[in-house]
Amino acid sequence: MSGTSSSSTRVLPRDIAELKALAERQPELAPAAELQISLIETVRRVQGRLTTPWLESTAEELTARLAKGQALLDFDQILFEWNDVRLLIRQIADILRRYDAVDADGVLALHNVGRAADLPDRMRAWFSGTPSPDVEMLDEVLLWAARPYLQRTAEVLQQRVTFDTWRRPTCPACAAEPDFSVITPAGERLLVCSRCLVRWAFAATDCPYCGNSDRATITSMATSDGMYRVTICQPCGRYLKALDGRKSSRPLLPYADPIVTLPLDAAVMRRQGK
């Protein structure tokens, strides 16, 4: 009971076009933009041949699970094609090496993880939120390699159930933290999952990382054109960037906007004295 579909390839060409324009506009961001484009193109090749998972759960079961505060996705529901995942890990590691994001030993260690028999166990641990500090950049590599599969499963879930009533700080589909957000024209804030890119509504000013809701300890900065904002939480020191839909003429580009806004990360670092 499964078929193929090409639905999740749709946003990527726009992300790539925006990243190419960024590299022209701001040459200092060109290496980061080019690295991101290489990663997107690698993942795209796999996306074209993904199988759509068949999920047994009914809309009622999924809604009940959300009402209990439980994210919907179980690791075993994700249809990993392990040969493709292993190839992806190798290709992603090679790209990171080309852009000097890992050294020669680092890329070998990543290749070894991609070849090892225990890769599914590694991936399961990563999915449950256990970091892998023993191999440099492994968490990032697993994220890129897992994302097409996670995203496809999350899409299927979203066709069956709405996340409108969720309003928790972590993803209703895969339980991960957000790492970007969108402010809607109505001023509502949607968090964007760092793994599966699902979006869900969350209190407009609260910190999703520590739950702090004291506005006096949450500062906000915007880019000069007002298109992007960043809110910084003083108690936990973490921050979240946003595309402000009240000022932006285009929707969020989930692969491009985190790179477009790298100067905001730098501004936060300066502010925090790092």
Closest CA to 15 of 51, 45, 47, 44: 44
By CB under 5 A, which span of 83-91, 111-119, 207-215, 260-268 interacts with Zn ion? 207-215
**Does residue 57 belong to the site contacting Zn ion (CB under 5 A)?**
no
Which run of H or E residues covers position 221?
strand 218-222
Measured between alpha carbons, how far is 124 from 63 in angstroms, rounded to an integer?
25
**Does residue 234 belong to the site contacting Zn ion (CB under 5 A)?**
no
**Does residue 212 belong to the site contacting Zn ion (CB under 5 A)?**
yes
Instruction: Using CB under 5 A, pick the residue from 88, 123, 207, 227 that binds Zn ion.
Output: 207
Task: Give the residue carrying structure tokens 């809604």.
Answer: 63
Sign of the four-CA dihedral 138, 139, 144, 145:
positive
- How many residues touch Zn ion under the rule CB under 5 A: the total is 14
DSSP letter, residue 54: P
**Does residue 89 belong to the site contacting Zn ion (CB under 5 A)?**
no
Least CB distance from residue 198 to Zn ion, whole Å? 5
What amino acid occupies position 206? D
**Does residue 209 belong to the site contacting Zn ion (CB under 5 A)?**
yes
By CB under 5 A, which span of 61-69, 104-112, 119-127, 226-234 interacts with Zn ion? 226-234
Q: Are 97 and 106 in contact (CB under 8 A)?
A: yes
**Does residue 219 belong to the site contacting Zn ion (CB under 5 A)?**
no
Closest CA to 120 of 146, 141, 96, 100: 146
What amino acid occupies position 15? D
**Does residue 161 belong to the site contacting Zn ion (CB under 5 A)?**
no
Task: Give the residue carrying structure tokens 């933290």.
Answer: 177
Least CB distance from residue 76 to Zn ion, whole Å? 16
What lies within 8 Å, CB to CB, of 132 at 6+ separation is 122, 125, 126, 138, 139, 142
**Does residue 80 belong to the site contacting Zn ion (CB under 5 A)?**
no
Cβ distance to Zn ion smaller for residue 207 or 264: 207
**Does residue 233 belong to the site contacting Zn ion (CB under 5 A)?**
yes
**Does residue 71 belong to the site contacting Zn ion (CB under 5 A)?**
no
**Does residue 72 belong to the site contacting Zn ion (CB under 5 A)?**
no
Measured between alpha carbons, how far is 162 from 183 in angstroms, rounded to an integer?
19
Least CB distance from residue 10 to Zn ion, whole Å? 18
Cβ distance to Zn ion smaller for residue 235 or 263: 235
Helix residue ranges, H only, 48-103: 59-67, 82-98
Least CB distance from residue 155 to Zn ion, whole Å? 11
Measured between alpha carbons, how far is 92 from 40 in angstroms, rounded to an integer?
10
Instruction: Using CB under 5 A, pick the residue from 108, 236, 266, 269 that binds Zn ion.
Output: 236
**Does residue 210 belong to the site contacting Zn ion (CB under 5 A)?**
yes
Q: Which residues of this protein are in contact with Zn ion, per CB under 5 A?
A: 171, 173-174, 176, 193, 195-196, 198, 207, 209-210, 212, 233, 236
